[in-house]
Structure 1
Amino acid sequence: MTAFLATGVVAQDLRVAAYDPGLTRKGPGLLLRDIRRADPQVLAAAQVIAAAAPDVIVLTGFDWDGDGLALAAFAAVLEQAGHPMPHRFAARPNSGWPTGLDGNGDGRAGGADDAQGFGQFSGQNGMAILSRLPLGTVTDHSAVLWRDLPGTLMPRLPPEVAEIQRLSSTAHWDVPVLTGRGALHLLAWSATPPVFDGPEDRNGRRNHDEAAFWLHHLPPAPFVLAGTPNLDPVDGEGRPEAMAALLDHAQDPQPRGAFQPEQTGVNATHRGDPALDTGVFDPAGPGNLRVDYVLPAKGLRVTGSGVIWPAPGDPLAAVVEAASEHRLVWVDIDLGSLTAPEP
Structure 2
Amino acid sequence: MKHRLLLSLFTLLPFALHAEALQSLEAQDKQVAQTLKVATFNVSMESTNYKALGLAPSAKVLQQVLSNGENQQVKNIAEIIQRVNPDILLLNEFDYIADQSVGIENFIKHYLNVSQVGQKAVDYGYVYTNTVNTGEPTHFDLDNNGKKEQYGGDAYGYGLYPGQYGMVVLSKYPIDHANARTFQTFKWQDMPDAQQPMLPAASTEDAGTHWYSEEEWQTFRLSSKSHWDIPVNVNGKIVHVLAMHPTPPNFDGEEDRNGTRNHDEIRLMADYLTPNRGGYIYDDAGEQVSLNDNDRFVLVGDFNAADIGDKYRPDVIEQLTESPLVNNSLIPTSAGGAEASSEDFSNRFTAYWGARADYVLPSQYGFDVKDAGVFWPTKDSDLYRLVKDRQASSDHRMVWVSLTIK
Normalising by structure 1, we get a TM-score of: 0.88
Indicate whether 1:312 and 2:379 are aligned.
yes
Equivalent position amino acid for 1:33 in 2: Q
Quote how far apart the aligned CAs of 1:141 are: 1.1
SS of corresponding position for 2:103 = helix
Question: For 2:348, which of 253, 276, 282 is the aligned residue?
Answer: 276
Deviation at residue 178 of structure 1 after TM alignment: 0.7
Preserved CA contact (<8 Å) 2:39 2:400: yes
CA distances 1:165-217 after superposition (whole Å, capped 9, x unpaired): 11110110000111014100010000111011111100000011110001221
Secondary structure of 1:112's partner?
A: coil
Shift of 1:238: 5.7
Partner of 1:163, secondary structure, is: helix
Find out whether 1:103 has 2:179 as its counterpart. no
Work out which of the residue numbers 233, 253, 258 in structure 2 matches 1:203: 258
TM-score, scaled to structure 2: 0.75
Aligned residue in 2 for 1:340:
none
Matched, 1:90 2:129: yes
Equivalent positions of 1:122-201 (< 5 A) are 122-136=162-176, 137-155=179-197, 156=210, 157-201=212-256
The residue aligned with 1:255 is 332
- Aligned partners of 1:235, 1:203: CA distance in 2, in Å? 19
SS at match of 2:79: helix
Q: Deviations over 1:285-327 (max 9, x none)?
A: xxx1110000011122101110001122333221233111100
Aligned mates of 2:263, 2:250 — CA distance in 1: 12
CA contact (8 A) 1:48 1:320 kept: no
2:34 matched to 1:12?
yes
**Match in the other structure for 2:404:** 334
In structure 2, how many angstroms separate the alpha carbons of the residues matched to 1:235 and 1:174? 30
TM-aligned CA distance change 1:28 to 1:223, over 3 Å = same
Instruction: Name the CA distance, whole Å, in 1 between partners of 2:59 and 2:139.
Output: 19
Flag structure 1 segments of 5+ consecutive residues without an equivalent.
1-8, 282-287, 338-343
Work out the CA distance in 1 between the residues paired with 2:165 and 2:145: 23
Counterpart for residue 121 of structure 1: 161
Equivalent residue number for residue 62 of structure 2: 31
Q: CA deviation at 1:22?
A: 1.1
**Counterpart amino acid of residue 361 in structure 2:** L
Contact 2:337/2:350 (<8 A) preserved: no
Q: Percent identity?
A: 32
Measured at CA, do residues 315 and 86 of structure 1 come closer, stay the same or move farther in structure 2, by a change above 3 Å?
A: farther
Match of 2:296 in 1: 222
Tell me which of 68, 72, 87 is aligned to 2:105: 72
Unmatched segments (≥5 aa) in structure 2: 1-30, 48-56, 116-120, 198-209, 274-290
Q: Take 1:258 and 1:135, find their aligned partners in 2: how far apart are those partners?
A: 34
Shift of 1:235: 2.3
Contact conserved, 1:117 with 1:169, CA < 8 A, in 2?
A: yes
How far did 1:149 drift? 1.3
The one-letter code of the counterpart of 2:404 is: D
Structure 1 position 80, deviation (Å): 1.6
Contact residue 157 and residue 224 of structure 2 kept, 8 A: yes
Q: 1:301 aligns with which of 365, 368, 385?
A: 368
Give aligned pairs, total: 317
Moved more, 235-244 or 57-66: 235-244
Contact 2:138 2:156 in 1 (8 A): yes
- State the alpha-carbon separation in 2 of the partners of residues 324 and 227 from structure 1: 14
SS at match of 1:47: helix
